[in-house]
Amino acid sequence: MMAESKTFTARCHCSNAKLSFAVPASSLPLTSHTCHCSICRRIHGTLSVFHARIPSPPTPDPRHCPSLTSYRAHPSSDVLRFFCSTCGSQLIALAEADQHWFVSTGLVEGGDETVFEYKEAIFATHAVDGGLADWLDQRVTRKWDTFIGVGESLEADAWENSKRRVCDGERGSVLHVYCQCRGVEFRISRPDYASTAFQQLFPHLEIPSVNLASRTAEKDEGERTWWVARDPSKYLASACLCTSCRLSTGCELTCWASVAIMFITPADGSPFKTEFGTLKTYNSSPDTFRRFCGTCGATVFWHHMVERPGEIDVAVGLMDARTGARAEDWLEWRKQPPSFAEDAINKKLAKQLTDGYMRWVNTK
């Protein structure tokens, strides 16, 4: 008798790219992992990727799908990644040496905790400051610079000692931001919320460091102030669990920094435009545009052209902050739970990330 199996479908946001794969029922849930290496972060634009190795090749073969673009991080890499050419969603990766396929769990329909169980955080020390690995359950094994299932685990003390501490003296005046292939590259300058130019661009915006003596939870939720940091030298960052972000990036959690466009300069020094370098645009919902690199697939920007024309959300995973992946020398992380947790398919993972994020951010 043949073993019972279940067939799953991974689908991107625009549904132009779709893959199916079979899993023996006895193999569920599939052991899953987050990867925090610099390559994964810069290819996805997120603080980590969320992957699971599938036991059989997907169909159709991604190498022959016209809706997918393939990308190899460097000539000697044996990992070939595939993203949707239309919306930029990172669907799947192939480790060619052993022919292992790794699907982005956030794209799998019905991919809840009975299908994917997160057990490892690999290349955790690449984040430098702990990154998203700090928000995972303590039962998730954190690994040094090693692949899945190999290498030593980091005990709690060793994990804490591996992280670089944020130091005010390390603050620079320019933040370098770029995708893995560097087809999209730009600089962000320190904000100047009190400047005449900023206040002319946002005449009705209340600035916590300028207009408000204190910032209450109610003010933090107000539409006029919610995207501006309390610290006048930083930008406000937040985490999102919404369906749109998950299907557009392939990742269960996406982190954004809200930046006024006037503080962004492309690497060549030209004025900011909605498309520059290798950027491609995807209209994910009315008046809302996501922009990604057409070469490596990295998510770069989220932009609501009507509600917030002068402000744009920048993918935190692309920031090259010397203090680490969370860019704490540049970002003030919002002291609110990741948004749209109700959209999550894997409720167990979403709760783990939400609880971990709130534990961490409340120490700041």
In this prediction, residue 216 carries a pLDDT of 43
What are the residue ranges of helices labelled H in 171-312? 196-201, 208-211, 217-221, 243-249
State whether residue 254 is helix, strand or coil: strand
In this prediction, residue 149 carries a pLDDT of 46
Query: Which residues of the chain fall below pLDDT 50?
Result: 1, 148-151, 166-169, 210-224
In this prediction, residue 143 carries a pLDDT of 58
Q: What are the Cα distances from residue 206, in Å, to 53, 197, 211, 234? A: 48, 15, 6, 16
Residue ranges and CATH numbers for the domains of the chain are 5-162 (2.170.150.70), 169-361 (2.170.150.70)
In this prediction, residue 215 carries a pLDDT of 40
Query: What pTM was estimated for this model as a whole?
Result: 0.90
Instruction: Give the amino acid at 184.
Output: V
In this prediction, residue 338 carries a pLDDT of 97
Contact indicator for 34, 132 with CB cutoff of 8 Å: yes
Task: Measure the CA–CA gap between 4 and 22, rounded to whole angstroms.
Answer: 10
In this prediction, residue 198 carries a pLDDT of 84
In this prediction, residue 141 carries a pLDDT of 72
Task: Measure the CA–CA gap between 224 and 2, rounded to whole angstroms.
Answer: 60
In this prediction, residue 307 carries a pLDDT of 83
In this prediction, residue 220 carries a pLDDT of 43
Length of the chain: 364
Residue closest to 17 by CA, chosen among 63, 86, 81, 117: 86
